[in-house]
Structure 1
Amino acid sequence: MSTSEPTVRASTAYYVQSAIAFAVAFTSTLAGIAYLPISPWPRAFLAVCTLFLVTSCFGLAKVVRDTHESQQVRNRIDEARIEQIYAEHNPLKSAV
């Protein structure tokens, strides 16, 4: 009774749409910062904050992905152990 979990993969169109959306959002944010009517120091501060926000978002996405993958492997191991326990302690085994 082993069933494998379906592999979830993003389609190429979804990947391209996500990449384009990220590029548009990042470019428009940087353009907005560049054209703000403020002195260079606050503009540089906002640019550095934006870059830090982007890198921390990538880091967070990686941590969430790794946590999800580790839980999937753990679930598979737990299911295999339960199936092994069922196979070893079959109540009908001694009756037959």
Structure 2
Amino acid sequence: WYVKASSCLVRAGESIKSEEAGRFRTFAFLEEAEQKQKGGVRLRVKKLRGRGPEEGWVSPVVNGAEIMKRFESFEEFSAVQSMLGMKRAEEFSAIAASSQ
């Protein structure tokens, strides 16, 4: 899985009312550890890379909007890796320009 939205709310427990554990940021790569289907899909995930807590429970779809996406193929994984590389290059360029 990876985060498509600008962020994804992470909770400590399965319930959407459990304590907030933080947020995964765009392009965080996540491993699915468990899935529950009570009133909508809830995933327990572990962070593989990116910004956010080490693990927690998330909703991949919120109010009909897909905020997380499962990698369906190696090609999709490669495309997201490329986008991540371009985003990092843009951020680095912006930081370098602002420090001059």
Shorter-chain-normalised TM-score: which range?
0.3 to 0.5
Normalization by structure 2: what TM-score?
0.32
* Structure number having the greater strand percentage: 2
* Structure number having the greater helix percentage: 1
Return the index of the structure with the highest Cα Rg. 1
